[in-house]
Amino acid sequence: MAQEKIPPAGLHPRLVKALLDNLESSEDFRKQFQDSPEQALRSLGYTDPWQCLSLKAGQTLASPERIRAQRAKLETAVAGVQQYECPLADQEGY
C-alpha cells in the first residue's frame, strides 16, 4: 500500500513578500524561478524547514506528556500546509 503524500509546509510571510516582489519586477528572477524554484527561493534567503525544528545546544526535547498537553498549540505553531498545486501558476479568472 502506497503511503499518502504529505503536502509541504507554507512559506514564511516575509519570504512570500520577497518572492512576489521579485516575480513582479525581475525577468531574471522569473526565469530562475521557472528553471529551479528551489534555487530561486534560496536566493531570497529560504532555509530548509528542518533547521527550524532543530534543538539549540543545551535544549532538550519536551516530554511525551508535555507534548500531549500542548498538542493543539504545537500543531498550530509547526504546521502551515499548502496544497500540492503551485498557487503561482497562471490561473484564468484572476
The three cell numbers of residue 41 are 527561493
* pLDDT tens digits for range 15-69: 889 999 999 999 999 999 999 988 999 999 887 766 666 677 888 888 889 888 8
81 bridge partner residues: 9
Q: Terminus-to-terminus CA distance in the chain, angstroms?
A: 39
pTM: 0.57
CA atoms within 13 A on the CB side of 54: 7
**Burial class of residue 11 (count of CB atoms within 10 Å of its CB; 0-12, 13-18, 19+):** middle
